[in-house]
Structure 1
Amino acid sequence: MAGAPGGGGPGPAAGEPLLQRRDSGQGSPEPPPPPPPPEHGQPRQGFLSSLFTRDQSCPLMLLKTLETNPYVKLLLDAMKHSGCAVDPGRHFSCEDCDGNVSGGFDASTSQIVLCQNNIRNEAHMSRVVTHELIHAFDHCRAHVHWFTNVRHLACSEIRAASLSGDCSLVNEIFRLHFGLKQHHQTCVRDRAVLSILAVRNISREEAQKAVDEVFESCFNDHEPFGRIPHTKTYARYAHRDFRNRDRYYSNI
């Protein structure tokens, strides 16, 4: 059975390449001031509960994802190999977001926004980070016109939906979407259209047309994985092959 990066059930749509941010600042929001001491007779907040408050859990989940998730580790290596090394402190920002958006890639700052009020657990964090890193990888390797060319946006959304695990069988079952024949392709089309509609003021017909026009070439573009990584095991194999390919070309 195919699984999403990190496993677990699906969350809201992983996010879009461009996000309307409440501010234009870099990095994570400032942490809130420490709470006042409890009044007499009230129990003090335990260490673990204070550690995993919302503003702290997002950076902690991000750190674990960057260190352990095979999808993310491959994408980080690929970004570095392409001349776009990722600095977690500079290129990720935990913020509160409107609606049920889970994250986004802000092309104007080359920064990935993680919606700390909507990301529920580590599995969800893994999917969001993978999805947005695919957008960042596309932004690094190609001249993507996010704002002016909906076909460019559609292409990256197709790749992100296909390669991030967002359309895994587990996620689709949780969404109560079933099907056997070319179900992955159907899911990728649907998720790409939804992602476009979330960030563009266009009709569903226009979004669907953009997806249809670029689907074949973009769906078959598996870089940097070399294959569709349906499970963590496939992602580990893809990472191994990527490193071996890099060593091979460096020795030519």
Structure 2
Amino acid sequence: MAAGSDASSAAGDTSNRGMTVEECENMIQRSLRSPTVKFLREHLVKSGCDISSNFIKAVNCSQRMSGGYVRGEGIMVCSNHLTIQDEVTQVVIHELIHAYDDCRAANLDWTNCAHHACSEIRAGHLSGDCHYKRELLRGFVKLRGHEQDCVRRRVMKSLASNPYCSEAAAKDAMEAVWDTCYNDTKPFDRAP
């Protein structure tokens, strides 16, 4: 089971654009120098997680998504749905949070709507996916509560791709775990 990021990027709809796998690989290498990416990778290692040199790889994706994490395989970044460095770095950060969750929770079950929702809430909240500027570029303008609305919207979008979660089950699961998971900022001291 994979946890994925939707392709609604900060730069808008990228369904007909994108980059080559090689261009994306170069951007992944640059993203590894990001302080947040370094921090998350260090905490994965400290948690005993195996992150080999090919843990994060660029691929062409047939599904409309920016990237995903697959247990035992690592992180895939969808080159054909991304166009700029910031998007690649954002996907890497989001998926590293899923990898961290998978590593630290011995019983995480991606087919369980509540488990999947929790990791999506954390990834959306902690990765910066829902920063005000990103939301503005996506066409969502709201002065108060934009971040939580964005996280909720993106959690529901991600859970829609989980064949084990109906829309009603996804919404119920997200609401049931919201407070606990939104306030869980590990490995950060507080939400970045």
TM-score with structure 2 length normalisation? Answer: 0.86
The corresponding residue for 2:60 is: 96
Q: How many residue pairs were aligned?
A: 179
| CA RMSD of superposed structures (Å) | 1.9
Percent of residue pairs bearing the same amino acid type: 37
**Quick one: distance in 1 between partners of 2:21 and 2:98?**
25
User: Relative to total residues, which structure has the larger strand share, 1 or 2?
Assistant: 2
**Quick one: distance in 2 between partners of 1:218 and 1:125?**
25
The corresponding residue for 1:58 is: 24
Gaps of 5+ in 1: 1-7, 14-52, 230-252
Shift >6 Å, 4+ stretches: none
Q: 2:52 aligns with which of 84, 87, 91?
A: 87
Say whether the 8 Å CA contact 1:11–1:124 is kept in structure 2. Answer: no
Are 2:16 and 1:9 aligned?
no
Say whether the 8 Å CA contact 2:47–2:103 is kept in structure 1. Answer: yes
**Quick one: distance in 2 between partners of 1:11 and 1:60?**
22
**Deviation at 1:12?**
6.4
**Quick one: distance in 1 between partners of 2:151 and 2:89?**
18
Partner amino acid for 1:97? C
Are 2:43 and 1:78 aligned?
yes
TM-score with structure 1 length normalisation? Answer: 0.66
- Relative contact order (alpha carbons < 8 A, sep ≥ 6): 1 or 2 greater? 1
- Aligned pairs for 1:97-246 (under 5 A) are 97-107=61-71, 109-142=72-105, 143-147=107-111, 149-200=112-163, 202-229=165-192
Gaps of 5+ in 2: 1-8
**Quick one: distance in 2 between partners of 1:179 and 1:84?**
38
